[in-house]
Amino acid sequence: MPDFVHRPVMLAEVLDALQPRPGGRYVDATLGGGGHAAAILAASSPGGWLFGCDRDGAALAAAQAKLAPFAGRFELRRGNFAELTDWIAAGSCAGVLFDLGVSSPQLEHAERGFSFQSDGPLDMRMDVRQALTAADLVNTAGEAELAKIFWELGGERDARRLARMLVRDRAQRKFESTRQLADWIERLAPRRGRKTHPATRVFQALRIAVNDEIGSLRSGLDAALKILQPGGRLVVITFHSLEDRLAKDFGRARARDYTFIGGVDVPELREPRTPELKWVSRKAVTPGPAELAENPRSRSAHLRVLEKL
Ligand SMILES: C[S@@+](CC[C@H](N)C(=O)[O-])C[C@H]1O[C@@H](n2cnc3c(N)ncnc32)[C@H](O)[C@@H]1O
């Protein structure tokens, strides 16, 4: 798969966090091109085993080729990591890795429709077997739903106005391509000296919505906790604040020795519980200067590590 090139982020830090050992069983929930998976298999030799999954068929094929030297020591599956418990026995793994977001080929291949750097269909599906595309959302979702998506998933301040204008203008002409949408947003919300393109937030929001990234991550983290064995490590790399907050809140809630009701943490409303996880590094690990210089896409990566108790 020569045109599938994705550089794994924070490879040394991931290995340091997972501590793969011979004979251990590991899960790479976001295989991509298989860069992290290959390193985990190499570090867990001899006898280490890896289960890998990805929703993207192209990623799976690329990972299959990359992992060929480790034949017999891995199993790969195309699917959503939210379903990990359907594939892996409870309490059986020494480590689970989530390297979230999109791969470089997903962004760079125009026909996938993730990016407005080049023109492509308004698609954004990680799994092309899925019915819902970004064009479906943009052309059929109601104004209130679009505004909610732009604001909650993209942090777009102009969410309500953009949603209102979108619903008005799509009645004249459907939105079909990435450049068409990006140019339309730029006309409504000019750059005014900003470095990032004014469509960046809307594109992020649509991608997260189309792929139900937040719902998948919630279920994926719960599933990971179930399949880990005591002492097993959960490593999560996030690329935007929404998923980072989710990972942090997940860790916090399960590392606490109490729960509280009503969403307000005051002593009177606390109930004791046994913590399921502990933080290995509570503070997020971020890429060092050498990696940042070499791979600018790593700049928003935050790595968090938890250990099952
Ligand atoms: C940043 S890339 C991973 C790169 C990989 N670590 C490597 O070394 O090449 C993220 C991958 O996760 C996949 N992905 C995102 N959400 C997923 C989900 N809910 N279930 C399965 N795969 C998912 C994407 O399709 C993409 O291939």
98 Cα to the center of ligand 1, angstroms? 8
Coil/strand/helix, residue 93: strand
pLDDT at 135 over 70: yes
Look up residue 189 and give its two tokens.
């919300």
Q: Which two tokens stand for residue 269?
A: 């409303």
What number of other Cβ atoms are within 10 A of residue 135's Cβ? Answer: 21
**pLDDT digits 0-9 by tens, 152-165:** 999 999 999 999 99
Q: Is 55 in the pocket of ligand 1 (CB under 6 A)?
A: yes
Ligand 1: atom nearest CA of 56 is 25
Average of per-residue pLDDT across 62-91: 97
Looking up tokens 């009645």 gives 171
Q: Say how many CA atoms lie within 13 Å of 178 toward its Cβ.
A: 24
Q: Is 80 in the pocket of ligand 1 (CB under 6 A)?
A: yes
Residue 199 has φ and ψ, to the nearest 5°, of -90, -5
What's the pLDDT at 192? 77
SS3 91: coil
Q: Which of 32, 30, 28, 29 is nearest to 5 (CA)?
A: 32
272 strand-pairing partners: 258
Residue to mutate (ligand 1; options 103, 125, 208; most atoms within 8 A of CB): 103
Summarised one tens digit per residue, pLDDT across range 38-66 is 999 999 999 999 999 999 999 999 999 99
216-240 pLDDT, tens digit per residue, is 999 999 999 999 999 999 999 999 9
Q: How far apart are CA 32 and CA 219, in angstroms?
A: 20
Provide the pLDDT for residue 266.
87
pLDDT confidence bin for 281, thresholds 50/70/90: confident
Dihedral angle of Cα 46, 52, 56, 61, to the nearest 10 degrees: 30
Distance in Å, CA 8 to ligand 1 centroid: 11
Q: What is the pTM of this model?
A: 0.96
Contact 138, 170 (CB under 8 A): yes
Half-sphere exposure of 290 (CA within 13 A, CB side): 3
How far is the centre of ligand 1, averaged over its atoms, from the C-alpha of 278 (Å)? 25
pLDDT band for position 2 (cuts 50, 70, 90): very low
What is the mean predicted confidence (pLDDT) over 133-159?
97
With a 6 A CB cut-off, is 6 part of the ligand 1 pocket? yes
Long-range contacts of 106-112 (CB under 8 A, 24+ apart): 106/56, 106/59, 109/3, 110/178
> Ligand 1 centroid vs 89 CA: distance in angstroms?
21
State the distance from the centre of ligand 1 to the C-alpha of 63, rounded, in angstroms: 11
Asked whether 226 and 254 are in contact (CB, 8 A), the reply is: no
Q: Which residue has the tokens 């590590």?
A: 305
243 touches ligand 1 (CB under 6 Å): no
- Indicate which atom in ligand 1 lies nearest the CA of residue 31: 5
Q: Distance between CA atoms of 208 and 153, rounded to whole angstroms?
A: 7
Our answer on whether the CB atom of 48 is closer than 6 Å to any ligand 1 atom is: no
238 lines ligand 1 (CB under 6 A): no
Nearest ligand 1 atom, CA 30: 12
